[in-house]
Amino acid sequence: MSGKTVGFIGLGYMGEGMATNLLKKGNALIGMAHRNREPLERLIALGAGEAKTAAEMAGRCDAIFLCVTGSPQIEALVRGADGILAGMKPGLVVIDCSTAEPTSTDVLAREIEAAGGRFVDAPLGGTPAGAMAGTLQALVGADDETFAAVEPLIACWAATIVHVGPVGTGHRMKLINNFISLGYAALYAEALALSAKVGISKDVFHSVIGQGRMRSGFYDTFMKWVMERDENAHRFTVSNAYKDLRYLGAMADAAGIANPLGAASKNSFAAFAAAGGAEKFVPMLADFIAAANGTKLD
């Protein structure tokens, strides 16, 4: 499916890099602005076109990528008066790279298929730098035929592509992935606060954990904020983390499984968001937890 006309909705931290790679690797690209036109203008300068509505885009494109906040936004883009269903041509493939609520994904897939299209969930893993470099991870939910068709497009921005299973399994696996990573964030934040409280500096903490078996790529970007105050190291907002852990809780409820560690992690982000930190980035949770416990990391 490479060399097609591809739409992209959601030109944020991740989306701009992904769309840039789709364009640079031989696809005609059509973008759509939301609150900020600057990413779209940069793509237009590279040769992209513009659609004013999702319906217009759906009538012009062979495939549309979505990379937005969550299920309410996805549902509005698909079902709205100017949404994808209102304008889609037969055969359109909608590829949702957002982190979404899986039961919503299941319903939207049926609606798109009933209208003559196909729906793929392909949530991503990585950073904005990885998006621009084309080295993200994609977790894809699709039938075998559709996966084979969309894999060349996804490969424009992903270095690692895992076909998880049928539609919906990509989003389910992504929530499990984020449960682990955001659980680590909550654990690091509490461990750092406890260390500071008992007289162990962040430098000593990092010299131990950063050179041991607990080190990981997630740890490195989290600690780049803690150690260097580099707010660009891990640009994933607290509001998104809180949303993902709420979706995880709903998935656990639907599966009938206890999820106490997920709930504890969610509550750390819920408290930070409620205290005004919703648009802060995930590693900044460390400072919030430290302050809540009457200490500082510096």
Q: Say how many CA atoms lie within 13 Å of 157 toward its Cβ.
A: 31
CB-neighbour burial class of residue 193 (10 A; exposed 0-12, middle 13-18, buried 19+)? buried
- 159-188 pLDDT tens trace: 999 999 999 999 999 999 999 999 999 999
Give all domains of the chain, ordered by start, each with its CATH number.
5-166 (3.40.50.720), 172-292 (1.10.1040.10)
What residues act catalytically? 174
Distance CA 66, CA 27 (A): 16
CB-neighbour burial class of residue 199 (10 A; exposed 0-12, middle 13-18, buried 19+)? exposed
Q: Is 168 left (phi over 0), alpha (psi -120 to 50) or beta?
A: left
* Token representation of residue 114: 């009933």
Q: DSSP assignment, residue 90?
A: T
Position 34 scores a pLDDT of 84
Where are any strands of DSSP class E within the chain? Answer: 5-9, 28-32, 49-50, 63-66, 93-96, 118-121, 124-125, 136-141, 158-165
* Token representation of residue 232: 């660009």
Position 216 scores a pLDDT of 94
From first to last of its 298 residues, what are the pLDDT tens digits of the chain? 556 899 999 999 899 999 999 999 999 999 998 888 999 999 999 999 999 999 999 999 999 999 999 999 999 999 999 999 999 999 999 999 999 999 999 999 999 999 999 999 999 999 899 999 999 999 999 999 999 999 999 999 999 999 999 999 999 999 999 999 999 999 999 999 999 999 999 999 999 999 999 999 999 999 999 999 999 889 999 999 999 999 999 999 999 999 999 999 999 999 999 999 999 999 999 999 999 999 999 8
- 182-209 pLDDT tens trace: 999 999 999 999 999 999 999 999 999 9
Distance CA 278, CA 246 (A): 14
Distance CA 251, CA 99 (A): 13
Position 263 scores a pLDDT of 98
**32 - beta bridge partners?**
9
Who contacts 291 (Cβ-Cβ below 8 Å, separation ≥6)? none
**Amino acid at position 34, single letter:** H
Distance CA 204, CA 224 (A): 15
* Token representation of residue 226: 């803690």
| CA distances, 109 to each of 138, 161, 167, 264 (Å) | 18, 21, 7, 32
Contact 222, 185 (CB under 8 A): yes
Q: Parallel, antiparallel, or unpaired for β 124-125 and 158-165?
A: unpaired
Position 3 scores a pLDDT of 62
Closest of 19, 252, 264, 255 to residue 132, by C-alpha: 19
Position 24 scores a pLDDT of 95
pTM: 0.93
Distance CA 138, CA 83 (A): 25
* Token representation of residue 184: 């680590």
